[in-house]
Amino acid sequence: MQLFGIPNCNTVKKARDWLDQHNIVYTFHDFKKNGVSQALLENWLSQMPWGKLVNRAGMTWRNLSEPEKAAVVDVASAMQLMQAKTSVIKRPILVKSGKILALGFDESNYQKIHNI
């Protein structure tokens, strides 16, 4: 199992703490250090619409210029933005065997996923 995000994000911290408290083994992929590959984004975008993966409520999105925001209109433009500015990706993303189990952190959802 992998958890994707950035370490200083409060929601990612909550997810990591929850997984640690329940002794669930995972590897952490830090977008800031490790980036995100085109293949990974293509996989995620095959499972979820780009509008859910791009975090429009976050500071990264809000700090984009209006023309930059207006340019994100489809999968290709969203993928380009997510690769250029990884902190615009909604996080955390919990993945197992390439399948997205959870986007964001919701304790009840994590309990269901892990049968707790």
For residue range 3-57, list pLDDT tens digits in order. 999 999 999 999 999 999 999 999 999 998 999 999 999 999 999 999 999 999 9
Beta-sheet pairing, 99-103 with 2-5: unpaired
Whether 9 is catalytic: yes
Give CA torsion, residues 98, 18, 86, 62, to 10 deg. 130
Q: What is the pTM of this model?
A: 0.91
The residues with which 99 forms a beta bridge, in sequence order, are: 96
CA 104 to each of CA 30, 46, 110: distance values in angstroms, whole numbers, following the listed order: 15, 18, 10
Could you tell me the residue ranges of all domains in the chain?
Answer: 2-113
pLDDT digits (tens, 9 = 90+) for 73-100: 999 999 999 999 999 999 999 999 999 9
At the top level of CATH, the class of 2-113 is alpha beta
To which H or E segment does residue 80 belong? helix 75-84
Q: Which of 3, 4, 5, 9 is catalytic?
A: 9
| pLDDT for res 112 | 94
